[in-house]
Amino acid sequence: SSSTGGFQRASSLKDLELAKFASIAETWWDFEGPFKPLHVMNPTRLAFIRSTLCRHFDKDPNSARPFEGLKIVDVGCGGGILSEPLARMGATVTGVDAVEKNIKIARIHADLDPVTSTIEYYCTTAEKLVEEDRKFDAVIALEVIEHVANPAEFCKSLAALTVPDGATIISTINRSMRSYATAIVAAEYLLHWLPKGTHEWSSFLTPEELVLILQRANITVREMAGFVYSPLTGRWSLSDDIRVNFIVFGTKNCQ
Amino acid sequence: MPLTKHLNVAIIDSNPALGSRPYFNKEDPPDPRVSTVTPATISFFKDVGAWQYIEQHRHAYFDKMQVWDYTGLGYTRYNAQDINKEVLGCVVENKVLHGSLLSCIENTDFQKTIYPSKLSSMTLPPSPSSLGMDSTSSRPPLSSQRHLAKLELSDGNSLYTKLVVGADGGKSRVRELAGFKTTGWNYSQNAIICTVEHTVENGCAWQRFLPAGPIALLPMGDNFSNIVWTMNPKESTNRKLMNEDEFVKDVNNALDYGYGPHPTSSLFGSGEMFSWPRAGVTLSANDCFEVPPKVVKLASERMVFPLSLRHASDYVSKHVVLIGDAAHTVHPLAGQGVNMGFGDAFALSRVIAEGIAVGSDIGEVTVLKKYEAERKPANIMMMGILDGFQKAYSVDFGPLNILRAAALHGAHFISPLKRSIISYASGEQKLPLFT
């Protein structure tokens, strides 16, 4: 029947996604390697996270460790490029990823520095964490939702992991003509920033769609921003332009 | 800066001035080792709370500058009011700068340790860019220092750190141990420095380009001035050894009628063609050429230093960053060297704070590269300009002399150009032109 066929298609798509990332796992911490775009974009993502979480949890933005006392989960943590700065900023961090190799790399790298060696890494999924009844003050899933089989279910899992009035932060790529041109054609085929086939344009979500499925998962989006890259300076910055890369900050509704 | 308050800093410097309490006898004449700090540097000192200590000791603001050469074909006068400011800079003895920064450090609340020692060796941790995949799943023993750089000092101490800042001058040991390549050349020139005395107070910075190199007379307060005289090595040896009276005569000659006539404006007219439109003309465009105050006495020993240009091809590598003369050494002819260094320090501290704000590892090259991207182009441009000046003024050739004089003339009378030059030299403007 069509439903079984649909289910099979969904799981095989997911395997393909996993395989793509497993093949380049060793290069996570090579700042000049295939993950360079992510490394270059990282400080800008962290700036958004820092400002929204400090405001929401009433933390001092001038402190070097503003996230002391906060439990944060980095869903789809890869080699840990987001988890490590979060730990340096004082958070108690749990990183999860579905690719075994990524977790191994993340563990080795985090152990090099006592400050980051406290990060807990697990090879698992958001869904499995929900089954274990884990709860976090902030749930962060950056550049993940465009790779999952069922975004609506994924958002429900993220919401289940968030404590009431906790924070959920998701970043992804907009499904727009512009993003097809930049994130697929330019990034993958022309500039070779990303290996070809990294992103499947049809699985991108628009901001409106993301807000809606988050609402259905009991998360109210409070802030949204775009990331814009300037070829002149080689730097990313936060902007109102959400036509390509964008990030949302939402809070879990209190029941 | 609250973001960097928690950082633990070690200062490794065998300079004895760091150990003892700085004591300045107000009766002593000024030490000949001085620096001319620009308004940008003064701002930096004020930001960190160090300028208040400088104001307690001898220091000399100046608001006027005159530049001319031996051909008598042109001159330039600058006034701080041309850019609506009160000062062009301040001349301070190096020992006062040291003492003030030391007092500032002692009175600021953060973890610091001074090691009066020298750096013997440095071991950097290997790069983890391609991590091997262990077959064992157990964690290797935690060595809390594996990700840190190890420094061994001559007194036997060993230090571990995330970031080594090489601020150890033109012959930087940090630069050498880290393997940074440099390019540069020695100018076949030495500089003689000394303190001199006048019968009146000097309130202007004077510089005259002579065939063998420029002589600068910088105000130091009371009736003292500092001399920086660049010349070829043989002359510098002679002038260091000649008796004091002969030397004073030589200095007055160099600043007055020696080597050539006083400039007049007759060659290019009185500059009227540059003075329109009337609005926006700089105050100093109307100033006449003045002869510097006569030197009556030598007030210190004469010191000689060789001059060179040197530039490190990179300022950063993992865990190591170079600032100041360790990264770039320049000719003293425009008083810019130490100011470029302070600019480096300011930029690096800001980049480190920004890195900490987003949880970065401060020894990481991507963080440090932001400092390099900001400072290297600015420093290279300044070095190019200074080197260009040095070369332009080293040649005594008729047509070139006239060209130089015309340029000097233009710099005196073309107001927007003059304002740009002053702002750039004051450290306020990033580029010399077109801002």
The contacts of residue B79 (CB under 8 Å, 6+ apart) are: B63, B64, B65, B88, B282, B283, B284, B287
Distance from the Cα of residue A139 to its chain's centroid? 9
Measure the CA angle with vertex A206, ends A205 and A212; round to 5°.
Answer: 90
Pairwise CB contact (< 8 Å): A31 & B147: no
Rg (CA), chain B: 24
What pLDDT sits at residue A16? 66
Summarize the confidence of residues B137-155 as an average pLDDT. Answer: 69
Q: Which residues in chain B have their CB less than 8 angstroms from residue A29's CB?
A: 128-131
Cβ-based contacts of B3 with chain A (< 8 Å): 62-64
- Answer for the pair A170, A141: CB distance below 8 angstroms, yes or no: yes
Which residues, 6 or more positions from A101, have their beta carbon under 8 angstroms from its beta carbon? A22, A25, A26, B133
Least CB-CB distance to A39: which of B142, B147, B366?
A: B366
Enter the pTM of the model: 0.84
Nearest CB to A114 within list B2, B144, B357: B144
Q: Residue A89: its pLDDT value, please?
A: 96
pLDDT in tens, B232-268: 899 999 999 999 999 999 999 999 887 888 877 544 4
Query: What is the number of other CB atoms lying within 10 angstroms of the CB of residue A7?
Result: 12
Distances (CA, A) of B277 to A216, A232, B75, B79, B417: 69, 38, 22, 20, 14
| CB distance A61 to A75 below 8 Å | no
Q: How buried is residue A122: exposed, middle or buried, by Cβ count under 10 Å (0-12/13-18/19+)?
A: middle
- Mean pLDDT value across residues A24-49: 85
| Residues linked to residue B321 through DSSP beta bridges, in sequence order | B165, B316
Contact A161, A72 (CB under 8 A): no
Nearest to A50 among B358, B365, B366 (CB): B358
Residues of B in Cβ contact (< 8 Å) with A47: 357-358
Least confident range of A125-134, B120-129, B365-374: B120-129
Task: Report DSSP state, residue B300.
Answer: S
The answer to whether residue A117 neighbours chain B at the CB level (below 8 Å) is yes
Highest mean pLDDT among A6-15, A116-125, B424-433: A116-125
**Token pair recorded at residue A91:** 């958070």
Task: Let me know: does A171 contact A143? Beta carbons within 8 Å.
Answer: yes
Contacts with A49 (C-beta within 8 Å, 6 or more apart), sequence order: A86, A140, A169
User: Cβ distance A170 to A219 under 8 Å?
Assistant: no
* Facing residue for B131 by CB, picked from A29, A31, A32: A29
Q: What is the pLDDT of residues B180-229, one digit of tens each?
A: 999 888 888 899 999 999 999 998 999 888 888 889 999 998 899 999 99
- Among A33, A47, A112, beta carbon nearest to B147: A112
Chain B interface, mutation test: which of A39, A41, A108, A117, most B Cβ atoms within 10 Å?
A: A108
Question: Which of A35, A111, A123 has the highest number of chain B CBs within 10 A, making it the mutation to test binding with B?
Answer: A111
Question: To 10 degrees, the CA torsion angle through A29, A30, A32, A33?
Answer: -100
Q: What is the pLDDT of residue A233?
A: 77
- Between positions 40 and 59 of A, the ones with CB within 8 A of B are 40, 42-43, 46-47, 50
Distance from CA of B318 to the nearest CA of A (A): 12
CB contact under 8 A, A108 and B130: no
Instruction: Report whether pLDDT(B346) > 90.
Output: yes
pLDDT tens readout for residues B379-414: 888 888 777 777 777 766 667 777 777 777 777 766
Lowest mean pLDDT among A82-91, B17-26, B32-41, B245-254: B17-26
ipTM of the complex: 0.81
- B111 part of contact set with chain A, CB < 8 Å: no
Contacts of B153 (CB under 8 A, 6+ apart): B12, B115, B117, B118, B119, B120, B159
A190: left (phi over 0), alpha (psi -120 to 50) or beta: alpha
Which chain B residues are Cβ-neighbours of A33 within 8 angstroms? 129
- Cβ–Cβ of A111/B360 closer than 8 Å? no
